[in-house]
Amino acid sequence: MARQFFVGGNFKMNGSVETIKKIVGYLNDAKLDDNVEVVIAPPTLYLLLAREHLKPGLQIAAQNVFDRPNGAFTGEISVDQLKDSNIKWTLVGHSERRTILREEDDFVAAKTKAALDGGVSVILCIGESLEEREADKTIEVVTKQLKAVSDKISDWSKIVIAYEPIWAIGTGKVASIAQAQEVHAAIRSWLKKEVSEEAAEKTRIIYGGSVSEKNCKDLSTQSDIDGFLVGGASLKPAFVDIINSRL
């Protein structure tokens, strides 16, 4: 069975009540490819606003989640709170959290496990820096990030892996089609070897890193690219073109 194409929109720390309603509005009004799973991730403050206004069939993700169920963790959000708010997805391990907030692989893995154990699906972000890319350590870095997760979980059916080369996020630079496909294929090969053939076949691996309406069609043709995690472009009407990249 073919993997369902997946397009996520990460709004990051952008938006207001007015702009979130506007973005949701053009998604609601657009003719979207019925074969694509669409998930948007507004800032935490606007999760319920987006949930209230987004049409059925489109889903909401948190941008982060904590690995404890409750307690004295100021500023964090729990899996149970997401479920209580009917938020069924969360991002975990985005490079901005790994680099700026120093989140280690083990912590990202613990949050992934907590989300899955609590019934929330995960967009697991992995990727290498420019220095690591130039040192030919890309596969080593991304598989190390994956191994930290596989050491804590066994079921990958509720995980979408987002490969986001750090050097291509928000820079306007994009991995070439060949570069992106090469890493996606290596990730799938790792899943087959280290997890299972079923996980390798069924797990969706999506690309992020300055995805736009200009490059999405070419990227979407690759056999191991199962969709996109979109940053800045998800705040614009062009997001619809990315969702419909296979039409």
Whether residue 177 contacts residue 140, with contact meaning beta carbons closer than 8 Å, is answered with: no
Catalytic residue selected from 94, 128, 184, 213 = 94
Torsional sign, CA 214, 32, 8, 45: positive
Cα distance between residue 11 and residue 63, in whole Å: 9
Strand runs (DSSP E) across 77-222, as ranges?
Answer: 89-92, 121-126, 159-163, 204-208
Cα distance between residue 89 and residue 162, in whole Å: 13
Catalytic residue selected from 128, 164, 184, 213 = 164
Verify whether residue 53 is a known catalytic residue: no
Burial of 185 (0-12, 13-18, 19+ CB in 10 A): middle
Largest CA distance in the chain: 48
Residue 228, SS3?
strand
Catalytically active residues are 94, 164
